[in-house]
Structure 1
Amino acid sequence: MQQTYRAIVARGWPVALLIVAMSAIQSGASLAKGLFPMAGPAGTMSVRLILAALLLLVILRPWRQPIAAGAWPAIAIYGIALGAMNFLFYQALARIPLGIAVAFEFTGPLMVAVIASRRTLDLFWVMLALAGLAVLLWPGSDTTGAVNWPGAACALGAGACWALYILFGQKAGAVHGMHSAVLGITIAAIVIAPIGVWEAGATLLEPHVLMLGAGVAILSTALPYTLEMIALPRLPTPTFGTLMSLEPAFGALSGLVFLGQQLGVWQWLAIGAVMAASIGTTLTPGADTTAHAEEPPRPD
C-alpha cells in the first residue's frame, strides 16, 4: 500500500508542477493585459523582459560557465525569437481574447512536431488545426469573443517565432542548458525591449508599473521556468506533450476568470480542435516527440 502511494506521488507531483506552471503563465498574461492601459503592449513586454532577465541573471549567474564561441549564433537567434514572440503575442493580446491568441500561437510548436515526424497521419492533425483556426476567423461565427485579422496575424507571427525558439533553443540548450535560456532572455531584453522603452518612456519607471511588471516577470518567466525544469526530466515525453497541449484551454479559462473574456461554443470547440491536433501529434503511433521532450520552457 505504501509503495503504491509513493508511486502515485512520484507520478503525480511532476504533473502538478506543470499544471501550476501553465496556470502561472496564463495568469501572468492576464496580469500583463492589465498593464496595457498604462504602459501599452510594447511597454509591458519591455518591463517584463528586462525584469525577468535581471531576476534570472541574479539567480543563475550564467557567467560562471564559459560559453563556446560556436554556441552564440544559436543563442542569439533563440533570444531574438523569444523577444519577437513576446512582442507579437502582447500585440495579439491587445486585440483578441487570451485563449484564442494562445490557440493561434500554438500552431508554432504544432508545425515543429509535424515537420519533424513527416508522417501521413499528421496531415489529418494539420487539417484539424486549420479547421479550428478557420472557425475562429470566420466572420460572425461568434460575437462573444471577437477576432480581428491584425490580432490573429500577430498571434500567428508569435507562433512562427515560437517555432524558431524551439528549434534554436534545442541547439543552444543541448550544450549549455538553462544558462542558454538566461542568456537568450538577456539578448531579448537588449534587442527587443528598447521598442517598448521608446514607446512607453518614463512610464515604465513608475512604481505601480514596476510592481505589476515584476509580477508578470515572476508569473510568466521565473516561476514556470523553474517548475518546468524540475518537472520535465521526470515526465514521459508523451505525458509532457499532452499536458502542454492543454495550454490554450488554460489561456481561455484565465481570460474568462481574470479578464471576463467570454467565448462562444464554436470558439471553445475550435480551441479544442487545436488542442486535439497537438495531442494527436504527440500520442499517435510513431510520433516523433523530440520537440516536446527537449523544448525549452514556454516563454510567454
Structure 2
Amino acid sequence: MATRTARTLPVPPWSLAVTAILSVQLGSALSIHLISKVGAAGTAWLRLSIGALVFLAVARPPLRAIRRHDLPALLGLGIATGVQTATFLAAIARIPLGTSVAIEFLGPLTVATVRSHNKRALCWPALAAAGVTLLAQPWHGHIDLAGIGLAGCAAGCWAVYILLTQHVGDRLSGIQGLAITVPLAAATTAIIGVHQAIGHITLETLAAAAGLALLLPVLPYALEMLALRRIKPSAFGTLMALEPAAAVLLGLLLLHQDPSITQLVGLILVVTAGTGAQRGGRRIAQVV
C-alpha cells in the first residue's frame, strides 16, 4: 500500500526532497528564538523528545528483533544524533546559518569522497573547504572560533551518523529505527538540556518545540522515504548538496543574515563540491 501510494503521488519526486531540505533549514532558522529562551541543548532536548514521542506513536520499537551486536551501533547512532543536534544549534546561535551548514556539510562530503575510492575525488573536500573559508572570512579579523568548532563537531557527528545508519538500516526499517535512535538522542541531549531548559518551560515554549519537531525530524524523514522510493540514491544525494544554499536563503529571509559577494562565491564552491562528490556515489543521509 505504501509503495503504491508513493508511486501515485501527484508531485515529482525531486520536489519531495527539496521540501525536506527546506523543512530542515526552516526548522533550524526558527530554532534561534527558542535557543534564546532555553539554550541550544535545551532546544535540542525538547525538539528531540517531542519527535521521539511522535515516532514511538507511529511505530513500536522492535525490541525483540534487536540482537546484542546491534546495541553498539544503535547506541552510537543515538548519541551521535543528539550531539550533532545540540552542537549545530549552538553553532547557529554564534555564526550565520549558511556558514554553519556549510561547515557541517564537510562531514557527509568527506564520507562520500572516501567511499568513492577515487583519488581524484579528494578535490571535492578541498573545494568545499575553500568555500567554507570564503564564507567564514577569517581575514576580517572577527571570527568566532567556538561557533566554527561547534559546527565542526556537528560535521563529525553527521559523518558518524552516516556510517552507523548503514548498519542499523540493514537491520531495521526507517521508522522502526527512528523509534529507537531518536529517544536515545533525546536522552543524550537531556544531560545538559534539562539543566538549561528547567525553569524556562512554558506552554509557549512547548508549543514552539512541538512545531520545530514536526519541521525536523518528523516531516523531513517522511518526505525522504517517499522520495527515495522514486529516485536513485545518487540523485537524492545530489539534491542534498543544495542544503547550504537553502540555509543561506532562509538565513537571509528570516534572520536577516545578508551574505557578501565573497560569501556567495564560497557557497557556490560548497554546493559544487557536494554535487561533484555524489556523482555515482551513495546517499548523503539526513540527520535529525
Tell me what 1:218 maps to. Answer: 214
Report if the CA contact (8 A) 2:42-2:189 is conserved: no
Helix, strand or coil: the match of 2:94? coil
Is residue 2:264 matched to residue 1:268? Answer: yes
Give the residue type in structure 2 aligned to 1:217: A
Report if the CA contact (8 A) 1:49-1:193 is conserved: no
Report if the CA contact (8 A) 2:124-2:276 is conserved: yes
Tell me what 2:3 maps to. Answer: none
Q: Deviations over 1:238-288 (max 9, x none)?
A: 3111100000001111111111111111111112111111111112xxx4x
Aligned-pair distance for 1:200? 2.0
Q: Which runs of 5+ in 1 are unaligned?
A: 1-8
Aligned-pair distance for 1:229? 0.9
Give the residue type in structure 1 aligned to 2:182: I
Is residue 2:284 matched to residue 1:299? Answer: no
User: Is 234-243 or 74-83 further displaced after alignment?
Assistant: 234-243
Tell me what 1:250 maps to. Answer: 246
Is residue 2:128 matched to residue 1:129? Answer: yes
1:79-158, aligned counterparts within 5 Å?
79-141=78-140, 147-158=143-154
Aligned-pair distance for 1:40? 1.4
Distance 1:273 1:65 in 2: 47
Tell me what 1:189 maps to. Answer: 186
Helix, strand or coil: the match of 1:202? coil
Tell me what 2:24 maps to. Answer: 25
Give the residue type in structure 2 aligned to 1:299: V
Report if the CA contact (8 A) 1:173-1:181 is conserved: no
Helix, strand or coil: the match of 1:61? coil
Helix, strand or coil: the match of 1:196? helix
Report if the CA contact (8 A) 1:83-1:193 is conserved: no
Report if the CA contact (8 A) 2:34-2:208 is conserved: yes
Helix, strand or coil: the match of 2:12? helix
Report if the CA contact (8 A) 1:27-1:219 is conserved: yes
Report if the CA contact (8 A) 2:41-2:189 is conserved: no
Report if the CA contact (8 A) 2:106-2:125 is conserved: no
Q: Which runs of 5+ in 2 are unaligned?
A: 1-7
Q: Deviations over 1:66-99 (max 9, x none)?
A: 2222212111101100001001101101101111
Check 1:197–1:10 CA distance in 2 against 1; reply closer, same or farther (3 A cut): closer
Report if the CA contact (8 A) 1:31-1:212 is conserved: no
1:236 to 220, 232, 236: 232
Distance 1:35 1:199 in 2: 12
What TM-score, normalized by structure 1, do the two folds share? Answer: 0.88
Aligned-pair distance for 1:140? 4.4
Tell me what 1:78 maps to. Answer: 77
Helix, strand or coil: the match of 1:234? coil
1:159 to 155, 159, 181: 155
Distance 1:11 1:232 in 2: 16
Distance 1:65 1:266 in 2: 54
Aligned-pair identity in percent equals 36
Check 1:64–1:83 CA distance in 2 against 1; reply closer, same or farther (3 A cut): closer
Helix, strand or coil: the match of 1:168? helix
User: Is 12-21 or 73-82 further displaced after alignment?
Assistant: 12-21
Counting matched residue pairs gives 280
Give the residue type in structure 2 aligned to 1:18: A
Report if the CA contact (8 A) 2:20-2:223 is conserved: yes
Aligned-pair distance for 1:120? 2.0
Q: Deviations over 1:199-250 (max 9, x none)?
A: 221313x100000000110001100010101111211233111100000001
Aligned-pair distance for 1:299? 2.1
Distance 2:38 2:263 in 1: 30
Q: Deviations over 1:94-134 (max 9, x none)?
A: 10111110000000000101111121211221221121122
Give the residue type in structure 2 aligned to 1:266: T
What TM-score, normalized by structure 2, do the two folds share? Answer: 0.92
Aligned-pair distance for 1:65? 6.1
